[in-house]
Structure 1
Amino acid sequence: MSLLPIVKYPNEILEVECEKVTTFDRKLSKLIKDMYDTMLEADGVGLAAPQVGIAKQIAIVDIGDESGLIELINPVILEQKGEQVGPEGCLSFPDLFGEVTRYDYIKVRAQNRRGKIYVFEARDFLARAIQHEIDHLHGILFTSKVNRFYEEGEIEG
């Protein structure tokens, strides 16, 4: 198990447009495994490559349900509808939480670590987590979408 250092705000890499992944090799597979180990160790539900200092369109999400690990390489949101409002935090902003409005339903096209293109749909919390990570790949931070920040102790979890 290799844990990667999580980049904290205000590191500039968190606000850059990430490059598309064009090489699908063992190095990419190892990075995804290391990102997954890092995310679990940090008690997160998602992690994007810029959060570990890599400006590539790679993100992972695992909210602990039957969906399991979702690999998002070069992801694009194809459809979005509905609205949900809820709490969000970010491993790059320790101890900071805010209320964010997101789409309730999304349809996404992405690639896995082997380069295979797939399309899937997500709703509710899974859709929220995926949108948060895809934003990271475009240099968009959740703090720019917060309706209001939570005070310490206001949110449980």
Structure 2
Amino acid sequence: MAVRDILTFDDKVLHTQCERINVIDDDVLSIIQDLKDTLYAGTGIGLAAPQIGILKRVILIDLRQGDEPVIIINPKIIAQSGKEKDCEGCLSYPGYYGIVERPKKVTVIGKNIDGKKVIYKASGLLARALCHEIDHLDGIVYTDRTKEVYSEDEEE
């Protein structure tokens, strides 16, 4: 439908809790299409609705490994285990990154675009991306979880 502008840095929308989606209608499907169009116009692997200015609980992740993209409406982490630190960036903080501690494994439930319950048991990059995007739905950005943010131009 449309490539939307991605909100950046300290836009107040990025720090606002999103509303649950109660009905999956044409408006919600339009939001999902806009998330896809916007993500695929850039270089990221995930996008959450508040990053395009929509305070609804929906995320899109595409690790671009030949699998279908992960689209979850009202995602919720119901289990997690382990911890690992790794570098993260964000389309809302272009050119910056930081080291963030996340769970090694997560189990996430939600709904797909057909309104059916989905469960993702994830580890590695998908687990990290799920945590990152779900944080966006709760008004949390990765810079809230790191001690230092680095510019791509800086040397550590």
TM-score (norm 1): 0.92
4+ residue runs of structure 1 moved beyond 6 angstroms? none
Q: Shift in Å at residue 84 of structure 1?
A: 1.6
Instruction: Please say which of residues 112-121 and 90-99 is displaced more in the overlay.
Output: 112-121
Q: Shift in Å at residue 151 of structure 1?
A: 4.6
Partner of 1:44 in structure 2? Answer: 44
Report the Cα distance in structure 1 between the residues aligned to 2:56 and 2:31, rounded to whole angstroms. 11
Matched-pair contact (CA < 8 Å) for 2:62–2:69: yes
Q: Shift in Å at residue 153 of structure 1?
A: 4.7
Q: How does 1:127-142 map to 2 (within 5 A)?
A: 127-142=127-142
Q: Secondary structure at the match of 1:19?
A: coil
Q: Shift in Å at residue 30 of structure 1?
A: 2.0
Matched-pair contact (CA < 8 Å) for 1:101–1:147: no
Instruction: Please say which of residues 22-31 and 40-49 is displaced more in the overlay.
Output: 22-31
Report the Cα distance in structure 2 between the residues aligned to 1:26 and 1:39, rounded to whole angstroms. 20
Matched-pair contact (CA < 8 Å) for 2:95–2:151: no
Q: Shift in Å at residue 86 of structure 1?
A: 0.8
Identity over the aligned pairs, expressed in percent? 37
Note the residue ranges of structure 1 that are not aligned, 5 or more in a row. none
Deviations 1:87-125 (A, max 9, x none): 111111111101111001000101112221111201001
RMSD between aligned alpha carbons?
1.6
Instruction: Please say which of residues 99-108 and 143-152 is displaced more in the overlay.
Output: 143-152
Matched-pair contact (CA < 8 Å) for 1:84–1:124: no
Partner of 2:143 in structure 1? Answer: 143
Report the Cα distance in structure 1 between the residues aligned to 2:152 and 2:13, rounded to whole angstroms. 27
Instruction: Please say which of residues 106-115 and 64-73 is displaced more in the overlay.
Output: 64-73
Q: How does 1:8-157 map to 2 (within 5 A)?
A: 8-153=8-153
